[in-house]
Amino acid sequence: MTKGAQLYEGKAKKVFETDDPELLIVSYKDDATAFNGLKKGTIVGKGVINNQMSNALMKVLEKKGVPTHFVEELSERDTLVKRVKIVPLEVIIRNIAAGSFSKRYGVEEGTPLARPTIEFSYKNDELGDPLINDYHILALRLATDEELETIKTYAFRVNEELKKFWKSCGVTLVDFKLEFGKVSDGTIVLADEISPDTCRLWDSATGEKLDKDRFRRDLGGVEDAYHEIMKRLEEHIAEA
Ligand code: TMP
Ligand code: ASP
């Protein structure tokens, strides 16, 4: 499959058409941004790691009954995916308080939650991805009731499977962000990526951050953290 016209360039990926109208190629960049693009940088090798990690995890999730956009890894940075219409929601699952949740509710980072939580942000850079609830999503016709229920079911299933997998790597899955899309027949599938850019991953023994918070918070050792988390994945993915 060869790359056709570029359809879109996002903060971390480019998307290309192919000769099949139902398929696209995503190409992962090393560019990193935070705070809605206010902070910009490069994480050398990130595109390769995020591409390979996201594909490996989506393959596991497919086996566990979560349909995804993944079709085939074409190269280190390029992957063939199903063309979807993105549901304009960031779906965030949390197991442990951190980030904006800690700030919003005044809960110390690292506090385990009594049960996993789900929240939604409206994907809209101009508005700064505001938090949105189920009623607003339905009122604005961003998804139907049925689609929203499917998304919630898949998101919690992803959490259970990824928690288990990362535990086997000695890593705690603190929280993560998912995006879903609709393929041409309307089926909801997991889309976008699952990577250290979109998950908080802490070493279970030391609490060390092995994710993009090292970049967001200027903690240093960003590339090392991405390589370390990828190494852990490679050591355990065969058993998943
Ligand atoms: P938050 O605590 O900043 O709301 O982030 C929750 C999770 O979502 C965390 O794992 C990082 C991820 N995330 C993204 O993938 N993209 C984003 O734009 C933001 C703000 C967070
Ligand atoms: N990449 C996102 C942005 O620039 C934010 C993040 O991941 O923190 O808005």
For residue 158, give the 3-state DSSP assignment.
helix
Comma-separated ranges of CATH 3.30.200.20 domains in the chain: 6-82
Residue 198 in contact with ligand 1 by CB distance below 6 A: yes
Comma-separated ranges of CATH 3.30.470.20 domains in the chain: 85-239
What pTM did the predictor assign?
0.98
Give me the torsion for CA of 205, 157, 225, 30, rounded to 10°: 180
Shortest-distance Cα residue to atom 7 of ligand 2: 34
Alpha helices in 122-221 (DSSP H): 134-139, 145-168, 213-216
Atom of ligand 2 nearest to the CA of 216: 8
Mutate which of 198, 200, 212, 213 for ligand 1 pocket (most atoms within 8 A of beta carbon): 198
Mutate which of 29, 31, 33, 192 for ligand 2 pocket (most atoms within 8 A of beta carbon): 33
Asked if residue 24 lies in contact with residue 18, where contact means CB atoms within 8 angstroms, the answer is yes
Residue 120 in contact with ligand 1 by CB distance below 6 A: no
- The CB density around residue 174, as the number of other CB atoms within 10 Å, is 24
> What confidence score (pLDDT) does residue 129 get?
97
- CATH superfamily entry for domain 6-82: Phosphorylase Kinase; domain 1 (3.30.200.20)
Q: Would you say residue 1 has pLDDT above 90? A: no
pLDDT tens digit sequence for 191-221: 999 999 999 999 999 999 999 999 999 999 9
pLDDT tens digit sequence for 115-157: 999 999 999 999 999 999 999 999 999 999 999 999 999 999 9
Q: Which ligand has an atom closest to residue 93 CA?
A: 1
First to last CA, the chain: 29
- Please give the CATH topology (third level) of the domain spanning 85-239: D-amino Acid Aminotransferase; Chain A, domain 1 (3.30.470)
Asked if residue 196 lies in contact with residue 53, where contact means CB atoms within 8 angstroms, the answer is yes
φ, ψ of residue 128 to 5 degrees: the values are 75, 35
